[in-house]
Structure 1
Amino acid sequence: MSTVSTPEAVFDRRISLRWVPPLHYVNIIGIMGSGKTTLARKIYARYKWGKKSSEVVSVYFQYEHDKELHEEFWRTIARIRGKKYVFVVVDDVSFETGHDKTTRRFLRELSKIRHRNRYVKRWVLVTIIHYSKAAVPFLRKGHTKVLTSLTDPEEIEQLRWSFTTQALWDYYDVYRMDPTGHWVLFNWLGNIFISKIYKPARRCWDIVVNGPECV
């Protein structure tokens, strides 16, 4: 394989040092049960390295098509004070309903999240998406793109715009041979690599708007 399957230590070092201020956008895409939310938790743990715990906070929102929940999410974002770094996870975004006005409006506002709270200096925004063809155009918008599964080689042609054809074939071969091994394909600011991710100890999000508190 030409794409090197890196040990987790390399994954940790790469992502802990390269973040785009003031907003680093991460898209995680995969099938159900492939470890997307767990990976988001793992990335948050790495993001906190070297930062004062009093200056960083995570916000978790399990997306639902509900305007009242959306308003609660935005109120939560606006109320954050005394934090320099905010790590936001929006889970279970479904692009199969991407044509409805409520979802489109929420996604437009999400792209402008840093304007909702001027007290926060640095943001990381993670969207977690169930894999579908409709998700591919949105995948291109992120600074970092991540695949947690690739079960069908026919999808490689569509995904090559966010990775490379060779990397996708390498990842497909690895995933096919070990589908439960938590192999992940990263495009981290143009640095494309495959890594095996181990599940971190069970931890809870700092602020939960909707959904489970711990993963």
Structure 2
Amino acid sequence: MNLRARFLWMHVLVSLLIIGCGLVGSRVLNRVDQNLRVMYAEYTLAVTDLSYINGELVRYRTSVIRAVQTDTQGEFRRIVDSLAQKRSRIDTALERFIRVSNRASSEQNIDNRELEEVKAVQAKLEEYMASSERTIQIMEKVWQSGSEGRAVEWRDEAERNMAIESGMKFVSVTNELERLIEVVAEIAGRVRRDADNSLRVTITLFIGVSFVLAVGIWCLPRH
């Protein structure tokens, strides 16, 4: 009787240990899932940063257009002085996106499309900014010219540069931003799907094994 009791308590103890391991494993896996959700949220914030950059680019171009169209040097100077702050906000948002992307990429095996698109955005952004600065430099000559006729010629040249060269480069950089947003959104969705699938399979397997072991132990002969 005592031997049977010891066997019974042994079965109970082992069963409780297995169930406990299953519960602990589930909590660990849930913790992993939370970490993956954080990474997914970082990608969501990254897309927000890219959308913010797009908006700041529109505001930057609008300011350049206003600078070309203004009739007073004082207003022109005020608008030009504000461009540095707008450029700084664009650069800061892009740097923040790159930091978030690098942090997430270090934890996931992600393809190189995102890195390639980031480099493309940076290159197109530099081209657009250089073209816009060229427009401002031409407009500077409007106020430095000695005659009204020459000032009109410089303004016409600035308007052409802004509309054609700078305009094309603006469209180019915004298109690259759109492509980068699409790539980031695709990666974020894949991370979410992979996390859900892995978590579901692991939890099911863990609970199934624990249940089979517990049933097997209870079915062992007790004599």
Same fold, judged at TM 0.5 (above): no
What range is the shorter-chain TM-score in? under 0.3
Where is the helix percentage greater, Structure 1 or Structure 2? Answer: 2
Q: TM-score, normalised by structure 2?
A: 0.25
**Greater gyration radius:** 2
